[in-house]
């Protein structure tokens, strides 16, 4: 089913900072759902995509969007990082 899901990067914003956060992206899923605020982060193993997060009352960060399918998560990551590197 994930192969049939149409995902597009709607907006990409690169940061010029020297920290781990390298940019933000907004994606659209099947032209029906928009997810804003995906983060592009530089980690120990290279760039990765982090879902939007919210600071909870417990002082910890919690994902606002959870992708339960590994193949869909990989597809989103590949799409966002490809757009980021092409920018």
Q: How many beta carbons lie within 10 A of that of residue 79, not counting itself?
A: 16
The answer to whether residue 3 scores a pLDDT higher than 70 is no
Please tell me the predicted confidence (pLDDT) of residue 27: 96
Asked whether residue 77 carries a pLDDT value surpassing 70, the answer given is: yes
Sign (positive or negative) of CA dihedral 47, 51, 13, 3? positive
Residue 28 has pLDDT above 60, yes or no: yes
On the question of pLDDT at 84 being above 60, the answer is yes
Domains in the chain, number: 1
Smallest Cα–Cα separation from 11: which of 86, 83, 77, 75?
A: 83
Domain range for residue 44? Answer: 2-86
| CATH number of the domain encompassing residue 26 | 3.30.1120.40
Q: In this predicted model, what pLDDT tens digit does every residue of 58-72 receive, in sequence order?
A: 999 999 999 999 999
Neighbours of 5 (CB within 10 A): 13
Q: Are 84 and 40 in contact (CB under 8 A)?
A: yes
């Amino acid at each position: 089913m994930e192969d049939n899901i149409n995902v597009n990067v709607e907006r990409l914003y690169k940061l010029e900072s020297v920290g781990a956060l390298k940019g933000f992206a907004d994606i659209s899923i099947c032209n029906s759902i928009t997810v804003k605020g995906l983060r592009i982060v530089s980690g120990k193993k290279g760039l990765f995509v982090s879902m939007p997060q919210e600071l909870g009352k417990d002082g910890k960060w919690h994902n606002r969007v959870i992708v339960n399918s590994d193949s869909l998560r990989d597809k989103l990551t590949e799409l966002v990082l490809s757009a980021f590197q092409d920018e």
